[in-house]
Structure 1
Amino acid sequence: MNELAEIKKILADFVSGTASNDTSNVNLPPSGKEYLTVDEAAALIGSKRSYIYKLTHEKRISFTKPGGNRVLIKRSDLLEWIEANRIKSQKVVQNDVEQFMKNSRRPGRNAPKR
């Protein structure tokens, strides 16, 4: 298939909505790697490089710059940041409220009157 025909096919697939979401070209970092580059961090959380740079610029995520040039992010710091931004489901919040109410009752406050 020549290049023009290939481009036409890709465009036709895109317009018709049948384009495959091939993510095989996304290179996820090896799980044993302790420090990640910006590209690897972005691939790990499914974001763009610019977002990772924004997080480091705003100091919302810890990073290191060995030699003052290349930004490296510790995998555990990135995963910790993800967990810190977790939004609880309504059921979990309700359970937390019930547990809090159960534990915060003072003795004698709800005791039956004599």
Structure 2
Amino acid sequence: MDILKISQKLDKIERLLLVNKKVLTFEEACEYTGLKPSYLYKKTSTKQIPFSKPNGGKIFFNKEKLDNWLLQNESKSKNDIEKQALSYVLKNKKRQ
């Protein structure tokens, strides 16, 4: 096995291990989210993202809270909007 393949396999293993962690370091959070460190620092400094800083030191993230933050402001698909509209119309017809 060549070095490139070994390196790719190690990267894959590291990503899989990262998914199972509950608490992420700043660097791990960048890797996990794909966000640049400068952007993540900006979000923590303006308190726009949930994080912990025990003893005023390193920054840590609760992975579940990070996932919730990443998934906020969801855009519904056209199909979901049509289903919601149909449900609304049918519900209002029953009231009449």
TM-score, normalised on structure 1?
A: 0.62
Where do 4+ consecutive residues of structure 1 move more than 3 Å? 24-29
Query: Is 1:48 the counterpart of 2:36 in the alignment?
Result: yes
Q: Secondary structure at the match of 1:99?
A: helix
Give the structure with the higher percent helix: 2
Q: 1:70 maps to what in 2?
A: 58
Indicate the percent of aligned positions where both proteins have the same amino acid: 27
Pick one of 61, 79, 91 that aligns with 2:49.
Answer: 61
The whole-number CA distance in structure 1 between the counterparts of 2:27 and 2:73 is: 21
Count how many residue pairs are aligned between Structure 1 and Structure 2. Answer: 86
Give unpaired runs (5+ residues) of structure 2. Answer: 1-7
The whole-number CA distance in structure 1 between the counterparts of 2:28 and 2:62 is: 11
The whole-number CA distance in structure 2 between the counterparts of 1:44 and 1:104 is: 44
Contact 2:18 2:32 in 1 (8 A): no
TM-score, normalised on structure 2?
A: 0.71
The structure whose RCO (Cα within 8 Å, separation 6+) is larger is 2
The structure number with the bigger radius of gyration is 1
